[in-house]
Amino acid sequence: MGWCRDRYPPLRVLVADDSVLLREGLVRVLVEAGHEVVGAFPNADLLLERLVDLAPDLVVLDVRMPPTFRDEGVRAAIRARQLLPGVGILLLSQYVEVAYAQDLLSSGTGGIGYLLKDRVASLDELKDAIERIASGGTVLDPEVVAQLIGRRHDPLERLTPRESEVITLMAEGRTNAAIAAQLVIGTGAVEKNVTSIFQKLGLDDSGSDHRRVLAVLAWLQR
């Protein structure tokens, strides 16, 4: 999988959303970002039927689609990973639905994103998310992260204000370098904060960006 424009070749993308306006708008944004939309479908079943033949690099799915408007997109994403193990997954939702994010992340593999639909209105937000997914990373909407962190107390209360900022960005799938740039501090300072966070939460740092996100989320959800 690769990125678009000058840095990487464009991605082949499949889209599924039951709303014609939202589907066409998403296609337009993806094309504007430099990607090739090889298929756009009104439901998850049609997307899965064509998945293997069209061989996309990335699949973008609405969480709720016909017939039940509950979790069709999540189940289709899991099935897509079974059919094409290397395909990137980006789930879009109108609302924060933490349980669906947990289902999507349960496979333990990277190249996965879960964003609120409002984020795709910003080309920069979408490009950043797809870049990280295409690189095998995990992208969680900040609102999802905020809800997960808001559920926890105890050891989280021991974190310094800076460590709280760092863990929030970690849970969004940011690398140490990206966190340093966001907070305008050195990478070494981020590494010290990460080490302190893992010590306070009783977690082992595996060294893998995706696995450390899963570790943080697993602790927050328990």
pLDDT band at residue 29, thresholds of 50, 70 and 90? Answer: confident
At residue 171, the pLDDT reads 81
Question: If you average pLDDT over every residue of the chain, what do you get?
Answer: 83
89/11 Cα distance (integer angstroms): 12
CA-CA distances (angstroms) from residue 137 to 65, 111, 184, 219?
26, 5, 22, 19
At residue 189, the pLDDT reads 94
| 94-111 pLDDT per residue, tens | 877 767 777 777 665 678
138's CB contacts (< 8 A; 6+ apart) are: 105, 110, 112, 113, 132, 173, 209, 210, 213, 214
What amino acid occupies position 28? R
Exposure on the CB side of residue 29, measured as CA atoms within 13 A: 20
Average pLDDT of the residues in 180-208: 86
Write the Ramachandran bin of 154: left for phi over 0, alpha for psi from -120 to 50, otherwise beta.
Answer: left
| The model's pTM | 0.68
At residue 141, the pLDDT reads 84
Would you say residue 208 has pLDDT above 80? no
187/27 Cα distance (integer angstroms): 37
23/32 Cα distance (integer angstroms): 14
Residue 138 gets which letter from DSSP? E
Q: What are phi and psi of 96, to 5 degrees?
A: -75, 120
Q: DSSP for 22-50, please give it.
A: HHHHHHHHHHHTT-EEEEEESSHHHHHHH
- The share of the chain scoring above pLDDT 90, in percent, equals 35
Q: Are 30 and 60 in contact (CB under 8 A)?
A: yes
| 108-150 pLDDT per residue, tens | 567 888 888 887 767 788 888 888 888 888 888 888 777 766 6
If you search the block for the tokens 């094309």, which residue do you land on? 31
Select the more confidently predicted residue: 95 or 207: 95
Would you say residue 211 has pLDDT above 80? no
Nearest to 15 by CA among 35, 39, 32, 31: 39
Would you say residue 49 has pLDDT above 80? yes
Exposure on the CB side of residue 2, measured as CA atoms within 13 A: 9
| 157-177 pLDDT per residue, tens | 778 899 989 988 888 888 899
